[in-house]
Amino acid sequence: CITGTAECVLTAENLNRIYNAGFGVFTHPVYGCPQVYTL
């Protein structure tokens, strides 16, 4: 189980490992929250 803040949990490494797919993550320019996209 992965726990922590959204910034700690929603990393490309975690998402790639869990879903076995290509993901990228960047910080939303207005809201400052993680945004996830597929590669």
- The answer to whether residue 4 scores a pLDDT higher than 90 is yes
Domain boundaries, the chain: 6-38
Give the tens place of pLDDT for each residue, 7-38: 999 999 999 999 999 999 999 999 999 999 99
Residues 6+ apart with CB under 8 A from 25: 10, 11, 12, 15, 34, 35, 36, 37
DSSP string spanning 1-39? Answer: ---S-HHHHS-HHHHHHHHSS-EEEEE-TTT--EEEEE-
| pTM of the entire predicted model | 0.80
| Contact criterion met (CB below 8 Å) for 24 and 37 | yes
Q: Are 34 and 28 in contact (CB under 8 A)?
A: yes
Q: Residue 2: pLDDT band by 50, 70, 90 thresholds?
A: confident
Higher-scoring residue by pLDDT: 36, 1: 36
